[in-house]
């Protein structure tokens, strides 16, 4: 599977980007997936996030098979935003994994959960 990682902090003084990135890379490696994109962003969840949009464009073009994040709040700004994103990814056939919440839409159980969220 062709994977992309996305890590985000909201302020420049937060130091968790390296930890998020390391955990995501280890998860991808443990799954035997290939890391194609490694995106990091410093931006508030409520403001435009160009790296996230870049990643979604890659998903729409099917350049990747799965997006991996450390935690859901690093990806989405609200429940509605998360559900809209999950729906779009499901429609394009791109999986989504949030390590902290053990949410994995690449598995049968995860796909069923994605269907429920839809």
Are the CB atoms for 102 and 69 separated by under 8 Å?
no
The question of whether 78 is a catalytic residue gets the answer: no
Question: 85 vs 13, 55, 69, 81, CA distance in Å?
Answer: 28, 12, 13, 6
* Catalytically annotated residue among 5, 10, 44, 78: 10
Residue 93's Cβ-side half-sphere holds a number of Cα atoms within 13 Å equal to 7
How far apart, in whole angstroms, are the C-alpha atoms of residue 86 and residue 59? 12
**The pair of three-digit structure tokens given for residue 110, joined into one six-digit string:** 């995860």
Catalytically active residues are 10
């Amino acid at each position: 599977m062709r994977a992309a990682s996305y890590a985000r902090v909201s302020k420049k003084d937060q130091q968790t980007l390296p930890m998020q990135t390391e955990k995501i890379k280890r998860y991808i490696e443990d799954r035997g997936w290939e890391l194609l994109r490694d995106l990091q962003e410093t931006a508030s969840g409520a403001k435009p996030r160009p790296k996230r949009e870049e990643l979604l464009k890659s998903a729409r073009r099917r350049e990747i098979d799965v997006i991996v994040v450390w935690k859901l709040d690093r990806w989405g700004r609200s429940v509605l935003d998360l559900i809209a994103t999950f729906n779009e990814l499901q429609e394009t056939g791109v999986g989504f994994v949030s390590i902290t919440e053990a949410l994995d839409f690449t598995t049968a159980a995860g796909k069923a959960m994605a269907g429920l969220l839809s």
